[in-house]
Structure 1
Amino acid sequence: MRVRIPLHRLGAAVVVALTAVTAIGAPAAADARSSETRYAGTPYVGTPYVGTRYDLGQATPLAGPQPAVDRLAGQITSSTDRMLHDLAAHRARLPYSADDYAVTTGRPKLVTYPRPDTEPASTRYATTVSQAGRSHDPITYTRAARRPNNREKDTSWSSFSFRGPIVVSVRTLHRTGATGCLVRPASAGVRTRYHDGTCTFALRRPANLSVEFTPQDGPVVTHPMLLFANPLERQVPSPDDRNVLYFGPGVHRIGPNVALHDNETVYLAGGAWVEGTFVGIDVKNVVIKGRGVLDGLFLDTGNQAENKKQPGFIDIRCDNQGDPARTCATNPTSSNVLIDGLTLIDGPRLNVRALSSYTTVRNVKMIGWWINTDGIVAGNKSLVEHDFVKVNEDSLKLFWGDSVVRDNVVWQLENGAPFMLSWNIEQDSANFHVYDDDVIHVEQYNAPTQGVFDARHAGAGHLQRYLFERIHIEDASYRLFYLNVEHNRWYDPALGYGSFSELVFRDVTAPPASAFTLPSVLNGIDAEHGFRNVDLVDVRMGERCLTTAAAANLRLDPDATSQIRVLAGPHCGGAR
């Protein structure tokens, strides 16, 4: 007999119905081994889950395989894998497009870059890198926080490229109360040694890291120190290539909105410091790459409202009038774009908006301070990988489908969200695979519309088929989920409202629910304009694997959420 439980009585009822569910591991009601059922007439062997399903205010205990959940995840993965195959074929036609991460063997080598005369070395940190008995001192830079109410004071970073084992030492140049250090993300598995103000550790593979001295001096890391340990460049353009816009070491003041052209490569060599921005309208076969820096400080007015009028660093779109996002979603006339390896600092507006089809954004590092300085949004059929995003607006925008977002590191400042699923998107969009991403800090603390996973959806679009897997959230304390279909002042309701469906959050780790200031929410307008078929599978908050909405401190709109499942399998919290 199916049990129907009113939502407001969920806590006590589920404890009675699922006595073994709250512990990590398999419940008494299910065998720890895979079990067999039948799905659409076909034998199905799947993971025995336990948990709860929620439908418009009613809760139903679940136990056993959930074939529909596993099938949906497989369909999304198959679709985005096919896209990646097609994208690789397009990218292979671009010059200088070899994947620097693809080669991991060969003679050890370390490359550092010269400091431009205009950029002083940091007075806060110093970096030393040793390989094969030789020491090198890559420059460490520091830029002060720009927005008046940023709780951080500055950010420092050092960048180099290497292959083979190295030892890194980061030394503080100010007296601190530190007694130890750590390196994030934790998934990098970096072990540290601290002595007399110096943090030392070994690296064998490229990574974008945060080096943190402990204990930190407040609720946020006041003086972050970042390390961009890049792979060696495999294909360096020739400055004599007539299709290459080449910037060598030194300062280049090119100004805003430099036009991109079809079949063009823009290359910023290591040590190049470029004050400028690029715009591409209806462009094809474009490469923007290198180990140089794009600096947007020359555009920063010091005023939030005025900065919203400034151009973004890299802006590839369809037209020069109206709403470029709306136009490009329905007619992405730019295509085959690669953005690779650059460091972007002090942009007063967005960092990378590449509204083109067949787009790759790889190993781009960005540090920004202002609201409206977004991280990355790419068009349909896109790959966003190996990037480091530290901004005060949305870091990774997941708007246009057939997209993969993987192996990125996010440090979210006070505003925006690490993962933004919609901001009034008006077009239907589907198939997003987001996996192996690390959120190392989330500094949100005072805006009730924020969360790690966020949607402000007042648009008419039906957004569906999102698969989040192996998402690691290390330091967050405000809100985990803020997913909404809503009325808001930035959208004309006469255009109609949309919905979300078929979302899977699987193998997500986060701090305990009790650590978050605000509850998580899934809200909608009504049963047709809300959330349907959403699965939280093997989501671990602290030491607890979730099997109920109450355990996640998750509030579900009883009028606008249906087929919401919270499930845990026997491997939740451990290796599969």
Structure 2
Amino acid sequence: MSRNINTIIVFLCGFLSHAQLITYDSSLSKTAKNEFVFSSPYYKISLIQNDLKKDCFVYGMNAMHVTNNSKSTSWSNFSFEGKVKVRVSILYKKIKFAQVLPRKATINVTIIDNHTIEFEISKPGQYSIEFEQGTFIEHPLLLFANPLEVTIPNKLDKNVIYFEPGYHEIGDKFIIPSNTTVYIAGGAYVKGQFFAENAENITIKGRGILSGEDYNPRTHNHMITIRDSKEIKIEGITIIHASRYMISLSGSNHHLDNVKMMGWWFSTDGVSSGENSLIENCFFKVNDDAIKLYNSNTIVKKCVIWQLENGAPFMISWNGSRDFGNVKVQDVDVIRVEHHWDNENLAVFCAVHGSKAHISNFEIEDIRIDNSNWRMFHIVTRPNRWANWNPSKGCISDFTFKNIDYYGQQKIPSLLMGHDINHPVFNFTFENLKINGQKVLNAKEFLIIDESTTSSIVIQ
């Protein structure tokens, strides 16, 4: 009997190792409150590879905050390698325009008829399939094309918490012990929030969904809270309807890879991670700061950001009380920025630094910014309600912005400004910054500089 089971396992492992296209069944019929997530009435997606056609379930969810510009968001999730043809049908109107972002992907779209488009992808990524032009889109459609999973943990392992396809409700403080792998399988829908403290070697991975849906943003935790811990890895999952942060980590040596995040509330930040952290291949569609660059030795690369009306794609500081720096951000696509009112935290790159830290040595390069009609930079030192102001300390210096491509129109000029001579902003270099394809040669073309508190600003 055991020999037969082993034979079956070997066969299945061999089959999976050669599989090139994997879709996931939805478990929405089993959810307790499926008005929060449902089968999208707006889109249908089919995937075609080697003459094999598979329908890919399209999730939908409605906007939850009164100021949200979009009425809904739809998305689909699968894993693959090789090349895949994607066929998208729009169910609620005729096609007059179609494109796929991010720009870097250079995807050519073919319009088949009034309701259908096709395009091909050959690498994993997060894609926005768009039938409308402009900063605001009424019914967005997102495609999450994951790489094939390399290792799937054994559900019988005592150090594995395994969520199989289907609905699971875990509560708002599910505690994960050290040396544990939490696996959320494709097709699994987990309602709840994870928590750990003073832990190490925790992995949360899979292709399933973690949802905060009906949690109140004023009374509940972050979706994943891990405090004062080290060696945390989060990979592959999709997080939706966060009441507050998607992921809040402190400690050090963390790795976030291919995490997809979508939320609606003003308090829905994306990621705050500890020191020596790597954030890569992640997707953010959030309504507060997408990535908080608050810790030394942080690396962010190959991410895609859709910023809603509140918060900044890159927030550098509100209240840093200890010196930090050596931060690198590279090869990121900001595909949409929905800012449309004047608030101090509304810029692509933002700092409203109100505490005593010296923030320094940031390298930010190869950034593409589309559909943004507000401002690129708002970097200032200033007392604010989130900070403990120090009258003699607190400054920002030694930043390099290289190969920044901005496609849009700044309705509010960018700003660099220190609060006074004790809180300066200095040593900023902008190299090969382009606005709508034109290289900027003079700071005054895009930037206001307070020369009494701001110095050594170089345009190259």
- Specify if TM > 0.5: yes
Q: What one-letter code is carried by the residue in structure 2 that aligns with 1:295?
A: S
Once the 2 structures are TM-superposed, how far is the Cα of residue 199 of structure 1 from its aligned partner?
2.0
Is 2:390 aligned against 1:480?
Answer: no
Q: Which has the higher strand share?
A: 2
Comparing 386-395 with 441-450, greater Cα deviation is found at: 441-450
Match of 2:221 in 1: 311
5 Å-filtered alignment, 1:308-457, equals: 308-318=218-228, 334-449=229-344, 450-457=346-353
What is the number of residues matched between the two proteins?
435
Match of 1:493 in 2: 389
Match of 2:451 in 1: 558
5 Å-filtered alignment, 1:129-528, equals: 129-176=47-94, 178-194=95-111, 195-214=113-132, 216=133, 219-299=135-215, 301=216, 307-318=217-228, 334-449=229-344, 450-494=346-390, 497-511=393-407, 515-528=409-422
**TM-score (structure 1 length as normaliser):** 0.74
For residues 223-264 of structure 1, the C-alpha deviation after alignment (integer angstroms, 9 at most, x for no partner) is 100000000000001110110010000000011011111101
Distance, in Å, in 1 between the alignment partners of 2:456 and 2:331 is 26
Distance, in Å, in 2 between the alignment partners of 1:159 and 1:519 is 38
Once the 2 structures are TM-superposed, how far is the Cα of residue 494 of structure 1 from its aligned partner?
4.7
Distance, in Å, in 1 between the alignment partners of 2:192 and 2:237 is 13
5+ residue gaps, structure 1: 1-105, 302-306, 319-333, 568-576
Q: What one-letter code is carried by the residue in structure 2 that aligns with 1:154?
A: S
Distance, in Å, in 2 between the alignment partners of 1:494 and 1:467 is 26
Distance, in Å, in 1 between the alignment partners of 2:105 and 2:155 is 36
Q: What one-letter code is carried by the residue in structure 1 that aligns with 2:175?
A: A
Identity of aligned residues (%): 36
Q: Is the 8 A contact 1:394 1:417 kept in 2?
A: yes
Distance, in Å, in 2 between the alignment partners of 1:146 and 1:448 is 21
Is 2:113 aligned against 1:113?
Answer: no
Question: Which of structure 1's runs of 4+ aligned residues deviate more than 2 A?
Answer: 489-497
Match of 2:5 in 1: none
For residues 191-217 of structure 1, the C-alpha deviation after alignment (integer angstroms, 9 at most, x for no partner) is 111132112100111010000014x4x
Q: Secondary structure at the match of 1:550?
A: helix
Q: Secondary structure at the match of 1:533?
A: strand
Per chain length, whose mean CA-contact separation is higher, i.e. which structure has more relative contact order (CA < 8 Å, sep 6+)? 1
5+ residue gaps, structure 2: 1-16
Q: What one-letter code is carried by the residue in structure 1 that aligns with 2:105?
A: A
Q: What one-letter code is carried by the residue in structure 1 that aligns with 2:246?
A: N
Distance, in Å, in 2 between the alignment partners of 1:542 and 1:340 is 35
Match of 2:14 in 1: none
For residues 334-391 of structure 1, the C-alpha deviation after alignment (integer angstroms, 9 at most, x for no partner) is 1011000000001111101111211001100011000111001111000000000000
Once the 2 structures are TM-superposed, how far is the Cα of residue 107 of structure 1 from its aligned partner?
4.9
Who wins on radius of gyration, i.e. which is larger?
1
Q: Which has the higher helix share?
A: 1
Once the 2 structures are TM-superposed, how far is the Cα of residue 495 of structure 1 from its aligned partner?
7.3
Distance, in Å, in 2 between the alignment partners of 1:492 and 1:398 is 19
Q: Is the 8 A contact 2:353 2:382 kept in 1?
A: yes
**TM-score (structure 2 length as normaliser):** 0.92
